[in-house]
Structure 1
C-alpha cells in the first residue's frame, strides 16, 4: 500500500497470540510455530558409539573400525552418520561441545532447517549426547586370545636376481598406505608375505598391486576348524602373487608374434618403464610399445640380459641421425669399454636412442652382446636376426666420494625369515642402485615420498660440489617431517 509516496507493508495478527506479524502461509508468529512444531522430532538426542581402547579406533557399522582423534572431522562424520532422521531435514551446521576427555561423553551441536506450513522455513539448534562404550575390535580380540590372528596371506614373489622391484614396490605401498590393514609383514628369501585379518582386506591389497605392477595371482583356501552344531567353517586364505620377471633397463627379445603385432617392433628392445603395464623401447627405431599385463602373461617372455650384466662404456663420438621420438634422439655412437682404456684399442659402433643425452666424454652403461652369455633359446624364431655388438641403456655418472645424501626414504616394519640373509653385499648393491635411479629419473620419483634428512643438512654432496657431474634430487621435491623413529630408513 502507498501512502503519501511511501510504501508500507500490511500487517496481520497472529491467529494464536495476536502479535502483529507480516503475512505468512501459517498466519502465525515464529514463537507460536516453534511451540506447535518440533522439527527435531524423530532425531535421537542420545546415542552410543563403540571405541576400542587397545588400537584407539571407533566402530563404523557394520565391521569397519576408524582411527579418529577427539573433535576431528573424521569423528564428527562418523557420529552424524549414526543419527537417524537427518535425511528428512537439511543439516546447516555441526560442531563439538567441549566435554571432559575422561567423561566418556561426546556432545555434538547440530543446526537444521525444515519446511513447515507451506513454504515456511523453520531453523532450530539442539545437542546430541553420545555415550562412548568400550568394545574390542576383532583384531585386538584375536591378539588378546593369543590365537593365530591372520585369516588371509598375500605372498608376493618375483623370479629375478635382484630386489630393486621390491624396494620400489615398498615405496609405492608406503605412499598409498596400502599396508595399513596388514597384521604383519614378513620378508622371505624370494619375496614378501603380507598377513591380513580378513579375506576382504587381502583382496583389497591384491587389487592395489594390480594397479601398480604387472602381476598374476591365484588363490587357495585351507579349512582350519568346523563347528558341526552351528555349521560354522573357519578358513585361511592364501593369495599367491607373481610379479612379471622383467624389470626396468632389462634387455628383452620379444616373441615373433608379439613383435609382429606391434608392426615389427624390435625384436631386441629395452624395458624403459614398469608400472601397471610394461613399456619397451626399440633403440634402433626409437619406437615405443606398451604391453598390457594380460598380453605379457599370454607370452610369458623373460629378460635376455638384466641390469646386473650392464657394462660401463665411455663415449668417444656421437653422430646424430636427425630422428626424434619424445625425449629420445637417434644417433650412431662410437664407444669403448671403460675397462679397456690403457689395455687395448677395441671400440664399438652402435645405433642408439640416447643421442640427445650423450656427448663425447660421457659415461654410459649398456649390454655387451658380443662377448656376453645368454640363453639362445630366447631368440629362436627370429630368422636373420643380427645383434648389435653393444646396446646402450642409459647415461650414468661417476660415483665420487659421496659423504651423505640429504634425503631419506621410509621403510615398512618387516620381520625377516630365519633363512633370509639381510644386509648382504648384493642387497646393499641393489639398494645403492635403486637410490641412484631415484636421483637420475624424475618419473620414477613420482611414485615415491622422499623426505629431508635433518641429520645431513650440513653434508656436502657430489651434486653440490660438481653440479654438472652428478644429478641430485631438487629440494622442492623433498618432504618435511621424517621421523627416524618411525622405522629404519633406506640408507
Structure 2
C-alpha cells in the first residue's frame, strides 16, 4: 500500500550540518571537521610541487627540446607546447597531486618566460580532498638544435639532396609545385634551396626528410626517381659510415594544354584513344581528352615511364582564332571537375581575318564556352610542320585543320593593364645558381611567372583551391577596374579573407624579385 495515498506524512530528508572546529562556520561534515578556508590556511597541498622549470628552445626553427634528444616544433600557447611543459613536471606532479586543469598565463613573447596555471587535487587531513590552483614558471633557454647548428656552422653541410628536374623550355610546373610545397610545408626542413637553369635542388640535414619530400612530390606530379649515395668518411674501429645521399627526381615532360600524338602501344592500352589527344590536367596521373569524341583516360606515372613520349605541340605554339559560327552542340560532360561540350564550329585565323576567306569547320570540346565573335587559342595543324615519329606510325591518319584549346581573355587583360591584383602568392626563398643568372634569363622567368598568374585568373577551377593566396595590401579597388574571369567567377574574397603576408615575408618576396 502506498504510504502517500494513505495520507501519512513523509518528512523531507535534509543533509545535516556541523560547525567548523576552528571558525565556527556552519558547513557540511567532512573527515577534518574544518571548512575549506581553514583547511587551506593550515594545509598547503601544493607543497613539494615545482614552481620553476626550464625549457630549451631553438630560435631558428621554433622547436623545443624533449629530453633526451628529440626536438618538437610547437607555437607559443599551443596544445603541443602545453603537453611538453606538463611532461617536464610530470614526475613530481603525478606523485604528489592529481592534475585537474592546466592553461597558459599570457606573457610577453620576448620575455623568455612561460607561465602555467594548474588546478590540482590532493588529500588533506583525515582523507579530506582539497583543490587548489598552482602556478609554474618556465624559463626559456635558447639553443640551436642539431640540424640548425650544422646549418649555421656550414650552410653546405647537408646529408641528402633532392634534384628536381623537368626537361621542358618553361617553368610553369615549378611555379605550381612551389605553391603546393608552401601550402603543405613539404620543404620546411630543407637546409637550403637552390634554383638551377633546369630545375630546383633541395638540401636536407637528414635522409628521412629528403625521402619524405620525394614521396610528397611523387604524390602530386608523375615522376620517376633514382637514388645514389657517396661515402664521406668511415671509422673502421667502431664500424660507422657517413654517406651523402642524392635523389634524382624527373618530372614528366607532359604539361597541361599540350597536344599529344599517342604511341600506338599506349593508344591500344587506353582503348584505342586518340591518337591525337590533349592534356587536360596533371596531378599524380595525366588526364588525356580526345577533343573530337570527348573520350578520356587517366595515365599514371608507371604507365607513362614504361612507354615515355613527348608533346607534339606545346602552349607556346598556340594561335589566335575567331569564332564565326557555333553549330550542333551536344550535352555537357563533366570529367574530374572540368566541363566539356562537343560542338562543331567555324573559325578563322586572326592573321587571315580580313585578308582572305580561309575558314575551318572543325569539332571542339569547348562548345559550352564559345559563341560567335569570341577569340580562342588553338593549334593550327593546317600550317604546322611536324616531324613527330609517333605520327608516322599511323598510316592514313587524317589531321583536323585546328584543335581549339582555350578561350582568350586578351581584351579584358588589356583593360586591366597596369592595375594590381587584389591577391598575391607567397614565394620560396631560393638561392640562384650562376648558370641561371643573367638579364635575359631573369626577364624570361618573370614573363613566365606573369603568364602563370594569368592562367590562374583565367582557369582557376582546380588550381586555386590547392594554393594559399594572400591579400595584396597595395591593391586599391576602382569602379572602372575590370577583372578577368578568375576574379569574376570565384569568390576570391572568401579565399583570401583570413590570409595576409607579414611585413617580413613581403620584404623577402620583394628582395627575391629584385634579385
When normalised by structure 2's length, the TM-score is 0.80
Contact 1:320 1:331 in 2 (8 A): yes
Structure 1: gaps of 5 or more residues: none
Question: Which residue is 1:75 aligned to?
Answer: 81
* Aligned position for 1:344: 356
Contact 1:287 1:325 survives alignment (8 Å): no
Counterpart among 236, 239, 248 of residue 240 in structure 1: 248
The alpha carbon displacement at 1:351 in A equals 0.7
Are residue 391 (structure 1) and residue 403 (structure 2) matched? yes
Structure 2 residue 271 is the aligned partner of structure 1 residue 255:
no
User: How many angstroms apart in 1 are the aligned matches of 2:171 and 2:408?
Assistant: 20
Of 344-353 and 291-300, the range deviating more from structure 2:
291-300
Gaps of 5+ in 2: 1-7
Write out aligned runs for 1:99-118 (5 A).
Answer: 106-112=114-120
Distance 1:208 1:98 in 2: 37
Q: Which residue of 2 aligns with 1:296?
A: 304
User: Deviation at 1:201?
Assistant: 1.6
- What's the CA shift for 1:346? 1.5
Contact 1:408-1:490 within 8 A present in 2 as well: no
2:447 paired residue among 417, 420, 429: 429
The correspondence for 2:316, drawn from 290, 303, 308, is: 308
Cα distance in 1 for partners of 2:312, 2:350 equals 23
SS of the counterpart of 1:359? coil
Mapped to 2, the partners of 1:469 and 1:53 lie a distance apart of 40
Match of 1:445 among 437, 443, 464: 464
1:451-462 matches, cutoff 5 A: 451-458=470-477
* CA offset digits 1:427-471 (Å, max 9, x no partner): 34322321111111122211222333232315687625xx78996
Hey, what's the Cα distance between the residues in 2 that align with 1:284 and 1:197? 51
2:365 corresponding residue in structure 1: 353
Change (3 A) 1:469 1:76: closer
Aligned to 2:433: 417
Aligned-residue offset at 1:235: 1.5
Q: Is the 8 A contact 1:463 1:469 kept in 2?
A: no
Looking at structure 2, the residues matched to 115 and 346 of structure 1 have their Cα atoms a distance apart, in angstroms, of 97
How far 1:114 sits from its partner (Å)? 8.4
Matches within 5 A, 1:209-248: 209-248=217-256
**What corresponds to 1:66 in structure 2?**
73
Report the CA distance between 1:285 and its aligned residue. Answer: 1.5
Distance 1:454 1:231, change over 3 A: same
| Partner residue in 1 for 2:345 | 333
* Match of residue 500 from structure 2: 481
CA drift of 1:74 comes to 4.6
1:217 Cα deviation from its structure 2 partner: 1.6
- Partner of 1:321: helix, strand, or coil? coil
| C-alpha distance 380-323 of structure 1, shift in aligned 2 (>3 A) | farther
Deviation at 1:150, TM superposition (A): 1.5
- Structure 2: how far apart are the matches of 1:332 and 1:100? 68
Greater share of helix residues, 1 or 2? 2
What is the total number of aligned residue pairs between the two structures? 484
TM-score normalised over the length of structure 1: 0.84
Give the SS at the match of 2:169: coil
User: What secondary structure does 1:168 align onto?
Assistant: helix
Shift of 1:41: 10
Q: Secondary structure at the match of 1:314?
A: strand
Residues 463, 320 of structure 1: CA spacing in aligned structure 2 closer, same or farther, 3 A cutoff?
Answer: farther
CA contact (8 A) 2:192 2:430 kept: yes
The CA deviation string for residues 186-221 of structure 1, in whole angstroms up to 9 with x for no partner, is 111110011111112212211221222122222111
Provide the C-alpha distance between the structure 1 equivalents of 2:487 and 2:64, rounded to a whole number of angstroms: 50
Judging changes above 3 Å, is the alpha-carbon distance between structure 1 residues 233 and 471 closer, same or farther for their aligned structure 2 residues?
Answer: same
